A and B are shown apart, each in its own frame.
Chain A
């Protein structure tokens, strides 16, 4: 019913304001400058690597507040939500992102070109990032380690903050269901030589409950603050310093009912995340420019839970990460055919946590080289190579080759090949953990594992058997991938655009934990090895149609196939078994029973309508986001989902907003998210049921 009302509203707005004007914003988008794909400024239409832009307009029309809100509505992006496990699973830390079917730990997230830190269990929690301070988000798909190094296997998401220009002040307040309150203020000041931008945000919520049968809330109350301060100073027309500073603080309450029907343990977790990023830009002449970038980044997560009955400490966790990088990049326009980029840097990473024995440190050196060649008319060829050397694991060479060919004014072809890698993460190297609860298992990072210790424990009778896998534990290698992308773009009548991209990623050396020994009490000792091989392949389709000046219609679809190669091979040979229902008898499985990697939907689709009438000040959006069912767990030991109860059901989310520009300064907006109240407490806990909001924005420009 509500949907009907909104649809009628939109349709009536269309007919009332229908115009046959041709939208120039649409063509403008092809000329938009992007930086992520090549680390140099390029027009979107001339980039050989699949790249998408999410504009500030889209973000504000969608009423999105956090990074996960807006990314989940983009084609081919899948927000993971705290279910699944293992190297090819979704991770347990929620709100991560999958790209081209690769896990959250294989997608790099950048802020103004610099990596963000604070991954837990390999997952970067996207809800940590407010998006009121950003100008746009660039999404580059396919392996990009040739420019960005570790983590850029599936692709790169670059959040680009507000530019330092103009003089303005913005502020806003928004309130909604679950007492979700968001307040922000931002401003720009530009002088002759100096410019300043600031952004401050407070976001809080009372949390929500999806499963009333449990005493715990699905999301407990929280509040967080984000501040972003950017400053630039122009020493001369050729030299400029930009200092980017971001600070995030979050307080998340947590309450649990441990072996009880009532809440008996509670406490809070705090996140502190500070980044200081000075960048010095210098143009030697028209053909040579150089940048010197520094990154000082600290992340700390502390959680303490106490018993509510006797105030005794129940759990304490402290995780501290430091990331310090110095990097230089130089761009040369060698001649009319070649543009060369050359760079390198040094990184120091530290980690200190209650789960590891001591403070750990890693040092890395990297160098990269990229050339863009325009030797033949209508053809662009990009070739790149990066070398990463690390103190704690094997070094890595990552190449890239990309081609863009303009067939006609309306049709362009793209093809690219790239290599990606992900360094073993801290837990895979340094974890040292024994669960003293009933199960009594132990798990060791590869660098903490000791065969001698196991052999000693066997002599002492603590270990029953050392398994063959124990002898395979060695220096971990980075997880590596190679990716192919092939696609074409078509646009016609200045109104319609289609972009098709086929992709295939082969991933090797995936790190997973394996049982390496059996304790005397039959429980296991685990450690990490490079073991799994996987692939993801599919096709992504994006359509955009500017119906009238004011109405933009877009649709996206991704078809995805994934597999663990060993499992697929075993299934084909009839070596794997499964049950059709829990407690049922086992049968031999065949290829059709194999559903691929966990946490991957075969079909992702979206349909988005944006209406924006500058004259009347009315704007509206209606977005449908669909994901087909996806495997979440393995209950019969074959490593994948095959029974119905191992899957999360398909889901359709519908979000809508309407807003009105009242005068030059004030804008009001109201919205409904998850209109059909689709929830899944167990497997998609980060998606609340139907919720509403209303917001007011103030903007003053000079």
Chain B
């Protein structure tokens, strides 16, 4: 799976590079697994940085080393109530590929603990009957990162998993949620991806 993602990323990278030769810097695209705390109420969030493209230790939570973090299905953004940074986010109703440049304005922040930038119904559906939640297709998150760059992200899947990241089915109780995310990060001084 990882190989596929890397190859996929490489192809995309090439595709993007070929097309936009005259533009400043191409966005790097990757698809990764992001394993987060599966409890809705207890324990740490799991933090992520677009600059490094990896998880950030929870001990760095009070820094600007991360852009967003997740716990169960809750997103927090490194801003105001959630962190010292000034990252912002908005969710667009477009496919990942259709978002070719980040909007100039419209970014939201975690203005208070109970007023988070990303809300439950923004990006997933919860089915009270089957008690499952699924990321809605066609929701693309656009971030203005802590470093004032732009990134776009698509949640591809969300599955209950154990601590090692192996998927679990009932009756095994999941301790983690394994997200598969695809993102593009634009390190250059442009809003284009």
Contact = CB atoms under 8 A, between A and B. Distances in A.
A588 B138 contact: yes
Nearest to B76: A522
A518 B121 CA distance: 8
B116 A585 contact: no
A583 B157 contact: yes
A523 B121 CA distance: 9
A435 B156 CA distance: 27
B124 A637 contact: yes
A25 interface: no
Interface string B107-136: 000000111100111001111111100111
Given A583-B157, A585-B95, A464 B114 contact: yes
Nearest to B135: A637
B41 interface: yes
Interface in B67-125: 72-74, 93, 95-98, 113-116, 119-121, 124-125
Given A588-B95, A635-B134, A441 B128 contact: yes
B154 to A, nearest CB: 7
B40 A521 contact: yes
Contacts of A524: 120-121, 126
B119 A577 contact: no
Given A464-B114, A518-B121, A586-B96, A526 B128 contact: yes
B173 interface: yes
A512 to B, nearest CB: 12
B56 interface: no
Given A261-B171, A637-B136, A465 B129 contact: no
B137 interface: yes
Nearest to A637: B136
B120 A577 contact: no
A300 to B, nearest CB: 24
Interface stretch (A51-59, A252-260, A669-677, A691-699): A252-260
A461 B114 contact: yes
Contacts of A577: 95, 136-139
Interface in B169-191: 170-173, 180, 182
Interface centre among B96, B98, B121 (most CB of A within 10 A): B121
A215 B172 CA distance: 12
B35 to A, nearest CB: 15
Nearest to A215: B171
B186 to A, nearest CB: 19
A407 interface: no
A318 interface: no
A92 interface: yes
B41 A521 contact: yes
A435 B171 contact: no
B44 interface: no
A586 B119 contact: no
A638 interface: yes
A92 B40 contact: no
Contacts of A467: 121
Contacts of B134: 634-637
Contacts of B192: none
A435 B138 CA distance: 29
A261 B126 CA distance: 26
A282 to B, nearest CB: 49
Given A582-B157, A583-B180, A585-B156, 20 more contacts: A85-B127, A86-B129, A259-B170, A259-B172, A441-B128, A464-B115, A464-B116, A464-B119, A465-B115, A515-B120, A515-B121, A521-B40, A521-B74, A583-B157, A584-B156, A585-B95, A585-B154, A588-B138, A635-B134, A636-B135
Interface of B: 39-41, 72-74, 93, 95-98, 113-116, 119-121, 124-131, 134-139, 154, 156-157, 170-173, 180, 182
28 contacts: A85-B127, A85-B128, A215-B171, A257-B171, A260-B171, A437-B131, A438-B40, A439-B126, A439-B131, A443-B128, A461-B114, A518-B119, A522-B40, A522-B73, A577-B136, A579-B156, A582-B157, A585-B96, A586-B138, A587-B95, A587-B137, A588-B138, A634-B134, A636-B135, A637-B134, A637-B136, A637-B137, A638-B138
Interface of A: 85-86, 92, 215, 257-261, 435, 437-441, 443, 461, 463-465, 467, 513, 515, 518, 520-524, 526, 575-579, 582-588, 633-638
Sorted nearest first, the 3 A-B pairs with minimum C-beta distance are A577-B138, A637-B136, A85-B129
